[in-house]
Amino acid sequence: MIKKIASAMILTLLLVSILTLAFNTQPVKASGTIYIRADGSIDPPTANITTTDNVTYTFTGNINDSIVVERNNIIINGADYILQGTGSETGIYLSGRSNVTIKNMAINLCGYGVNLGSTSYCIISGNNITNNGIGVELRWSDNNTFYGNDIANNNVGFELYHSDSNILSGNNIRNHDYGVDLRLSYKNKFCHNNFINNTNQIYFHLGSCENIWDDGYPSGGNYWSDYAGTDLCRGSYQNETGGDGIGDTPYVIDENNQDNYPLMIPYAGSVRNLNTGQSYPTIQKGINNASQNDRILVLSGTYYENVVVNKTICLIGEDKGTTVIDGVQKGHVINVVADNVTISDFTIANSSLESSGSGIYLYGINGCNITQNNIVDNNIGVFLAWASNNNISGNNVAENSWCGIYLSYSSNNNVISLNNLEANNWYGIGLLHSSNINDIHGNNITRNYYGIGLGSFSSYNVIFGNDIANNHIGIGLFEFSTNNVISGNNITANNQYGIYFNDASNNEFFHNNLVNNAQQVWQYGSGYVNFWDNGCEGNYWSDYNGTDSDGDGIGDTPYVIDGDNTDRYPLMNPYWLPGDVNHDLKINIYDVVRITGVYGSQQGDPNWNCHSDIAEPYGIINIYDVVTCTKDYRKEYTP
């Protein structure tokens, strides 16, 4: 008895504190039927909806009567306002539409809350759809997604007619005559929903049709208020001792349909605030309810959202391979508008392919950490504009249609390190429009058009220790980008140029390995002088044919690039480890002695030795040079 009372109390608290959406309750404004026309216009223009880009349409107040959507590829954001009918009309009607998102609104007192006809690839999320005839109807509509909605007190929660392969996840479906009414609809997936106190939880008009009712083990299926099973066992076969929050026996719907892993308590949401213990159905709701410096964990799954991070938080995915934020080709997937945000362990995909659409977008933002993510299939993977002192590290940034990581408009003092940048259509890493003093190191950059591009007065950047291979152009410098240091990189097998110049001078190149590029260096025009050694050591060139008569590891004759550019001290062997300061292809006590013997000297001092200046900051022999040498102690070069 006590257990039943406790369960009832938990259920009540969950419904009140977690599942109920807070909407504005100002008086409803009568406006008549509103059309979002195919050309993007709003008819009538006086309706309580606004747009600045004909993509995102946002409520500015409560609305009476219907909305008819005639445009594809848009977002309708209710902004927590109410759409209220008069009892018979449809709240939001889509016919023949695709890729429309409807979110964050209350819809009530309509014949149909949301009605989709011959419509596909739409997302309905974070809405409160109550007291209608039918909450949501689909007719001949496939591949749509419904998640995080509270569907309650309608005659029918969901009705699907000839509609296949839709996903219904994380919804509360409660207090209906029919929770879900399925009519000749197949292969729809239902998981993590709460079916509560519906007279008929699931009903098959026109005969049984097979659908999917769980997400496997241990993710689980749905919560059913009339499930009478126990939880004494665990495991995918529920045959191991110990409960796991999943019923030991399936919830049987009919002979063709059963939930193999019914949940024992209502599903509270897959977005969890680790500071407060609260759970939410969508990432955006988790952020909206967070406080500064909270940590938000997003469990594995696919979240069809365009997320705005507007406060300093840590946003963490459970597993970057299985925690996916899909922007459904609208705007930015994640738009960061607060400083000192951390984003890690997600797959971030499918931004708008127009203009600046990005996986992660930082505008005027500082101090953020973007680490350990898969950032794929966007227009731009990561875009920083007027953004400084950020760290982008350990990410896989691949197959974006324009650029992998793009710094623009005076984005300064950022660190881009240890990323994999592969198969982006233009830049792997692009620094443009006076983006200065950035640190780019330890990245693997392959199969892009430009591995790294610096242009439009981007200067004083340090690019070192990167593997830049199999791009069209390895490194490109153009449009008056000067005083950059490019050191210790492997620039190999790029199929047009290893390094390309156009209107760029006074850059410094040393300790790079330029190997088997179709053309090692190409300068467009003449008269642009760059520096190809540090005063005593230059670069390794796979096509250098000189000799080394004194065996000091440096060629006896310069490597001539063109009439304006010459490497005076070409290396005879690939530059492999900076600690090998005496070039005997091993790191031992002789290298340590050589560095410590000139410790503290600066460039220009009598005892200065450029061979010992192997680590940033260049121009002084200090502890960083000693550490760089000793960390690889006893290593030997093996070709």
**317-360: per-residue pLDDT in tens?**
999 999 999 998 999 999 999 999 999 999 999 999 887 899 99
Q: What is the mean pLDDT of residues 496-520?
A: 97
Domains in the chain: ranges and CATH? 2-212 (2.160.20), 578-639 (2.60.40.4130)
pLDDT of 638 higher than 60: no
The amino acid that residue 433 corresponds to is H
Going 288 to 290 to 291 to 295, the CA torsion angle's sign is: negative
pLDDT of 384 higher than 80: yes
pLDDT of 364 higher than 50: yes
pLDDT of 504 higher than 80: yes
Q: What is the mean pLDDT of residues 415-434?
A: 98
Which residues does residue 620 pair with via DSSP β-bridges, in sequence order?
602
**What is residue 637's predicted lDDT score, i.e. its pLDDT?**
61
**What is residue 603's predicted lDDT score, i.e. its pLDDT?**
84
Q: In what order do the strands lie in the sheet with 358-363?
A: 307-309, 334-336, 358-363, 380-385, 403-408, 427-431, 450-454, 473-478, 497-502, 521-524
**What is residue 14's predicted lDDT score, i.e. its pLDDT?**
41
Reported confidence tier of residue 636, pLDDT bands at 50, 70, 90: confident
pLDDT of 530 higher than 50: yes
Within 537-605, strands assigned E span: 540-541, 559-562, 565-567
φ, ψ (nearest 5 deg) of residue 628: -60, -40
Q: What is the mean pLDDT of residues 531-555?
A: 96
Q: What is the mean pLDDT of residues 414-420?
A: 97
Reported confidence tier of residue 19, pLDDT bands at 50, 70, 90: very low
pLDDT of 17 higher than 60: no
Share of the chain above pLDDT 70, in %: 94
φ, ψ (nearest 5 deg) of residue 70: -115, 10
Q: What is the mean pLDDT of residues 376-405?
A: 98
Please write the tens of the pLDDT for every residue from 22-60. Answer: 445 454 444 589 999 999 999 999 999 999 999 999 999
Reported confidence tier of residue 458, pLDDT bands at 50, 70, 90: very high
Residue 619: DSSP 8-state: T
Reported confidence tier of residue 371, pLDDT bands at 50, 70, 90: very high
**pTM of this prediction?**
0.80
Q: What is the mean pLDDT of residues 239-243?
A: 95
The amino acid that residue 304 corresponds to is Y
Give the residue, 201 or 581, on which the prediction is more confident: 201
**What is residue 490's predicted lDDT score, i.e. its pLDDT?**
96
Please write the tens of the pLDDT for every residue from 596-633. Answer: 999 999 988 888 777 788 888 888 999 998 998 888 88
Residue 626, H or E segment: helix 623-630
φ, ψ (nearest 5 deg) of residue 298: -110, 120
Please write the tens of the pLDDT for every residue from 123-180. Answer: 999 999 999 999 999 999 999 999 999 999 999 999 999 999 999 999 999 999 999 9
C-alpha atoms less than 13 angstroms from C-alpha of 371 in its C-beta half-sphere: 13
Q: Lowest mean pLDDT: which of 304-308, 334-338, 473-477?
A: 304-308
Within 455-595, strands assigned E span: 462-464, 467-469, 473-478, 485-487, 490-492, 497-502, 508-510, 513-515, 521-524, 540-541, 559-562, 565-567
Angle (deg, nearest 10), helices 589-596 and 623-630: 180
